[in-house]
Copies of this chain bind each other. A is one copy, B any other.
Amino acid sequence: MSAADQERIMQLVKRILPDGQGINKDELEYLTEKLKNITPSPSEGEKPKKAKKSKLVLKNAKGTIDQGPAEMAIREELFDKIKAVFKTHGAETIDTPVFELTDILTNKYGEDSKLIYNVAKPEGSDESLSLRYDLTVPFARFVAQNKIQSIKRYHIAKVYRRDQPYMTKGRYREFYQCDFDIAGSNYAPMFPDAECVKIATEIIDSLDIANSRIKLNDRRILDGIFSACGCPDNLFRAACAEVDKLDKLPWTAPENEVSVRCGLSEECADKIGRFVQKSGAQELVKELLADPVLSANKSATEGLKEMSVFLEYLEAWNIMDKVSFDLSLARGLDYYTGVIYEIVMTPSEQDIKNAEAGTTVGVGSVAAGGRYDGLVGSLVGGKGKSNVPCVGISFGVERLYTLLKRKKEASSIRTTATQVFVMSGQKNMLKHRAAILNDLWEAGIPAETSYKPNPKLLNDLQSCESRNIPWGIVFGEREIEEGIVLLRSIISRDEEKVTRSDLVKVLKEKLAV
């Protein structure tokens, strides 16, 4: 260490000592950096450390869970239903890596950026990486990087947020999102936007687990309201955040006026408050277009006119009973530029009973999205030709999963595809069991046998019953000699003799494969 280094460290430390505050950021970094480069010497009497044989704690990383076979069976059913709707709308699928260059994720998520997981940067690496926080920004990066002009894609994958986990409410640090997005220029206004909402209703319908309400709004209308009510430009985002909290915190909470909370003038807060508590449909659009304050605002009128077109599609598709144009919907993310929407499950009677009993209500937002016309452009550094307008919707499936799981009886969940179980009441039959299995496997018939050398027939039969396996193949010395097996229906317990050479054919008929 040089004399200058020593001098500098000494100075810094003298300043730390009085109150622990007299050091600035650069100085702290300098000192920390210096300390990193020091190879510590062993303490006196300290022996080189032996790897301590401490007991390993077996657990998941905080906020994450394993999915066992029963959970996976339900989850796959859920994904299959969601995928079927995406495919019905002609979507392709893509995949992107779990981590992105950190720069790509910067300035996209407002306050929540602090929840992003970073990857440790080993010595010699020049890349800063972060785990993806959502699927939208990686999608925009994919579109921009590959110079794609138009695409309709879905993506089902895990995202990562170092949020305070709330496991019983399904808030995890690793969770799936199912995203559907439409990117392209010169599209008929609001048609792709309306299709995203239509997809949400089709998915909720196909799951048949709860009722839902869809709230619609438009960032341009909100901005227009703020502007028309005299909110200064630099407070738009703060005002937006207050609107976003409306379901938890009333606009005029006693002794906690919104004007105090975010620095708006009382008059302005008051005006905004009158607007953002309105909801309705086409008649509200008309009312607002006729409003003397709003109608003078270009952003608001543009948003309102397109909202009307948007609602026309939803009317044509018969889903207006599930939808409301709701001025209190704001959405937290930075990148939305037009229409925004949120799908909220409404509590069933059972949910309300559970809530009264003190257990969690299975309601809340299950999907949300909107139009983000500037995101691709911002990644390529301009809004010119290389920009691609986008609109999309993202399903957070954890809540849907909980509802679907509740609907299923545990016993009805099958975790395997097994249709046939091969068994014998006699000893030393494993090679014969293996030979029969081979015929079934080669024919693509899902089949198993016990891995035990000499399993008990009764145990095998009970296992078939508890696992809902429909067919058993039973044999012993005599059947081998005769070249047959007994094909047993596990449900009816009927047995029929089938020759070995006919077995695959007979089973294929019974299973209709």
| A residues lining the B interface (CB < 8 Å) | 1, 6, 9-10, 13, 16-17, 19-28, 31-32, 35, 37-43, 46, 51, 55-62, 64-69, 72-73, 75-76, 84, 87-101, 103-104, 107, 117-122, 127, 129, 131, 141-142, 144-146, 150-151, 153, 158, 160, 162, 174, 182, 184, 186-189, 191-192, 198, 202, 312-313, 316-318, 379-381, 415-418, 430-431, 434-435, 438, 441-442, 444-448, 451-453
| Cα A28 to Cα B43 with chains together (Å) | 11
Partner of A97, one of B46, B66, B313, B444: B66
| Cα A124 to Cα B57 with chains together (Å) | 20
Q: Report chain B residues within 8 Å CB of A434.
A: 191, 313, 316-317
| Cα A33 to Cα B46 with chains together (Å) | 21
Pairwise interchain contact B415-A88, C-beta atoms closer than 8 A: no
| Cα A216 to Cα B13 with chains together (Å) | 61
| Chain B proximity of A115: nearest CB distance (Å) | 10
| Chain B proximity of A358: nearest CB distance (Å) | 28
Pairwise interchain contact A98-B441, C-beta atoms closer than 8 A: no
Partner of A95, one of B38, B66, B144, B435: B66
* Top 7 A-B pairs, shortest CB-CB distance: A69-B92, A1-B20, A90-B448, A187-B451, A64-B97, A87-B417, A67-B95
Find the residue from A40, A184, A444 having the highest chain B CB count within 10 A.
A40
Partner of A101, one of B24, B42, B59, B127: B59
Can you pick out 8 interface pairs between chain A and chain B where the beta carbons lie within 8 Å of each other?
Answer: A23-B41, A60-B145, A64-B99, A66-B97, A72-B94, A98-B158, A150-B451, A316-B434
CB-based nearest B residue for A60: B97
Pairwise interchain contact A58-B141, C-beta atoms closer than 8 A: yes
| Chain B proximity of A374: nearest CB distance (Å) | 14
| Chain B proximity of A126: nearest CB distance (Å) | 9
